[in-house]
Amino acid sequence: MKNKAGIRNKILINTTVNALTIAIGLMAVMIFFMRSLTSTILLETLQPMAKSASQSVESNLHMMADRIFLIGDNAAFADPSVSKEDKQALLNKAKSGIEFVWLALYLPDGTLYTGSTDSPQSIASRPHFSTLQQTANLVIDDTQVTDNGLEIVIGAPISDEDGIVYYLLGSYKYDVLNDVLSNINVGKTGTAFIINQDGRLMAHHDAERVINGESITSHFGDSSEIQHMITQMAQGKTGVLETGGISDKRYFSYSPVRGTHWSLAITAPQSDFMAATNNAIVTSLIITLFLLGFASLMMLRLSKKIQMPLGRVTNRITTLAEGDLHSSIEVEKTNDETETLSQALANTVQSINSYTSELSRVLAELSQSNLDVSVNGTFKGDFVVMKNSLNQIIDFLNQIMHAIQQAVVEVSTTSRMVWENALQVEASSSGQADSISRLYNETQIIGENVDEVDKHTSSMLQFMDRAISSMSDGKEHMANMLDAMNKISVNSEEIKKINMFLEDIASQTNILALNASIEAARAGEAGKGFAVVAREIGDLAAKSGNSSRQTSQIIENSKYAILDGSRCAEQTAASINEIADVSMKISKIAEQLTDAVMTEKKSLENITQQIGEINLLAKNNLDSSRQSAEASQTLTEQSETLQKMAERFRLKQ
């Protein structure tokens, strides 16, 4: 029921939304164009109306100006021979014929010469007086507030051949402007007004606004559009203005009053002219709502006609989705798509029922391990694919089961052979692991012996280094000793030379002593003491000679001894050199032996490591072979189980 109500609600909601959208769109377009049309009509109407009103004001002002000119054209006012009383009489006569508030003559300095009782005593301070002096022509002053109310002063100069004699000024009642503005009616609240260059009101329907000196901004606001309009009006331009929003839109049309500094404007709010439009909008809205209600009733009636047969078809589709394939279906006699839908649903249920019955039969046989079966009957559409696919699946299962049955026998035979081979591999791996373990232990012992040899060769190399160092010191000492003995031999030669020199001295001294003795003998008694001295000297010389000869003999003997010692030292040095050479050769051999031992040690370490890895691999192989044996035994048992399961299926021949 929820679905039925949902379809009906959707129809109603969609229809209502579409109708409302169309109605609202049409009304929005109508309102927009009606407002635009109203704005266009008002702007086109207000512009000529403002021009016409300003021309009416101009006509009234020109008429008043003509009266001033007419009065001023009287030559009596410029004639000095005419008395002041006569001129006053002329003014009184002119005032009685025209609606003046007051009429007077003023001297060129602005003081009153003669005039009505209400005439100001001086006009020198008034702005229009300076304008009169500058232009020497007709001047219309701004609206003035006096005790008599609002007045409009118009002045003109009276001249003679020498220049300006008097200024003629007349004050008109405000009614001349008010009459023109009162005749302008624009809508219910529309109005017309006149402003000067400063934006101050010169004329308005409400005279109190003029009396209070209000400006246009005090009534219509100080927006940029209003300020722009005041600027345009002060410059004497003609134009229209549209201000405000949709709810407070207002139109202005302005035109200058020629011959013055004034500008006339007419304004009206849009709401005054939208009454007919609003009535049309409300009427259209009411009609639209009525039509929407009528359309909703018609759609509700139509939706009920669609809902009932469609609901019955939907309920049957729901039961079909829940698995009911046997319930009958009543064909709806609506002569539309609903009847076609119900007929198609009945045909669909009948076809599906026949298809599912055949498929259920085949699947039931398959569930009983019977693969000697196939899907029969006529299928249509996508069900043909289901039929062919299921038959292909059955054929494929038959092929697979045939292959499985054949493969199970082969797998069972092969797994048993693998199991027996795995047992043999396990036994071989166990023996191999034991042999490699013993080999690994032997390499450990060899490694320890090589370490001992390495230690001994290292010690021998250290001892040889010490011996070579000692041999080097001995060679150095022998060289020093040979140098010292060579020096002694050289020094003995020098001493020998000195002894020979001393022997010569002793020989000469002995000869001199002998000569002295001979001379002393010749001298007699006087030479006895000298003879004794000469003998002593001779004895000393003889002794010195003997000592020198003995010393030379000793030195000669020492020389022979030194030569023998030098020969022995040289032989000892040669022996030490030979020993040093042999020690160097032994040291090199020890170093080579150490390098060889180190190389052998590294090789042995590598061999030991590789044997250890082989030992680990052998253990892993042993474990793997045991696992393979267990797995092959399990595979044999599973292949036998699989063979029993495959024999349960009944296959096609």
Q: Report the run of H or E that residue 241 belongs to, with start and end.
A: strand 239-243
- Taken in order 593, 598, 600, 601, the sign of the CA dihedral is positive
Q: Residue 102 pLDDT > 60, yes or no?
A: yes
Instruction: Summarize the confidence of residues 219-236 as an average pLDDT.
Output: 84
State mean pLDDT over 327-332.
Answer: 64
Residue 159: strand pairing partners: 164
Distances (CA, A) of 142 to 136, 195, 200, 201, 231: 18, 9, 10, 9, 18
End-to-end CA, the chain = 56
Extended strands (E) in 130-222 = 139-140, 144-146, 149-160, 163-173, 191-195, 201-204
Q: Is 259 left (phi over 0), alpha (psi -120 to 50) or beta?
A: left
Winning range, highest mean pLDDT, from 69-83, 373-387, 489-503, 570-584? 69-83
For position 12, what pLDDT does the model report?
A: 65
CA-closest candidate to residue 513, choices 543, 548, 552, 549: 543
Distance CA 322, CA 329 (A): 15
Inter-residue contact 141 to 126 (CB < 8 Å) = yes
Beta bridge partners of 158: 166
* pTM to 2 decimal places: 0.42
Is the model's pLDDT at 4 over the cut of 50?
no
- The residue type at 7: I
How many CB atoms neighbour CB 53 within 10 A?
Answer: 22
| C-alpha R_g of the chain | 78
Helix (H, G, I), strand (E, B) or coil at 7: helix
* CATH 3.30.450.20 domain extents, the chain: 8-277
> Can you give the length of the chain in residues?
653
Q: Tell me the DSSP string of 406-456.
A: HHHHHHHHHHHHHHHHHHHHHHHHHHHHHHHHHHHHHHHHHHHHHHHHHHH
**Burial of 408 per CB tally in 10 Å (0-12, 13-18, 19+):** buried
- pLDDT value at position 7? 62
CATH number of 8-277: 3.30.450.20
For residue 160, the cross-strand partners are: 163
Q: Pinpoint the residues of the chain covered by CATH 1.10.287.950.
A: 392-646
Contact (CB, 8 A) for 252 and 229: yes
Confidence at residue 3, expressed as pLDDT on a 0 to 100 scale: 46
Which ranges of 324-381 would DSSP assign to H, the alpha helix?
337-367
Hey, what are 624's tokens? 């793997």
- Whether residue 470 has pLDDT greater than 80: no
- The DSSP line for 245-309 is -SSS-EEEEEEEETTTTEEEEEEEEGGGG-HHHHHHHHHHHHHHHHHHHHHHHHHHHHHHHHHHH
Q: What percent of the chain has pLDDT over 70?
A: 82
Identify the top-confidence range among 248-257, 425-434, 451-460.
248-257
Task: List for the chain the helix, strand, coil content (%; round to 5).
Answer: 70, 10, 15
For residue 163, what pLDDT is reported? 85
Helical segments of 163-247, H only: 175-182, 207-211, 217-220, 224-234
Among 127, 107, 133, residue whose Cα is nearest residue 200: 127
CA 152/CA 140 separation, integer angstroms: 7
Query: Residue 355: its pLDDT value, please?
Result: 67
Q: What is the Cα–Cα distance from 412 to 559, expressed in whole angstroms?
A: 114
Predicted pLDDT of residue 97: 63
pLDDT value of position 223: 84
pLDDT-derived band at 337, boundaries 50, 70, 90: low
Closest CA to 492 of 389, 566, 431: 566
Helix 175-182 and helix 2-72, axial crossing angle in degrees, nearest 10: 150
| C-alpha dihedral (643, 648, 651, 653), degrees to nearest 10 | 70
* Residue 476 pLDDT: 74
How much is the pLDDT for 336?
63
At 209, phi and psi to the nearest 5? -65, -35
Q: How confident is the model at residue 304 (pLDDT cuts 50, 70, 90)?
A: low
What is the chain's mean pLDDT, rounded? Answer: 76
Give pLDDT, residue 530. Answer: 66
**Position 509: which residue type?**
T
Check pLDDT > 50 for residue 620. yes
Assess whether pLDDT exceeds 60 at residue 2: no
496 versus 191: which is more confidently predicted? 191
**Proportion of the chain above pLDDT 90, given as a percent:** 1
pLDDT at 390 over 80: no
pLDDT at 81 over 70: yes
From 236, 204, 258, select the one nearest 65 (Cα to Cα): 258
The CATH architecture that domain 392-646 belongs to is Orthogonal Bundle (1.10)
C-alpha 572/C-alpha 471 separation (Å) is: 12
- More confidently predicted of 335 and 281: 281
How do beta strands 201-204 and 239-243 pair?
A: unpaired
Instruction: Return the bridge partners of 242, or none.
Output: 251
Whose tokens are 């021998």? That residue is 460
pLDDT band at residue 305 under the 50/70/90 scheme: low
d(CA 204, CA 189): 13
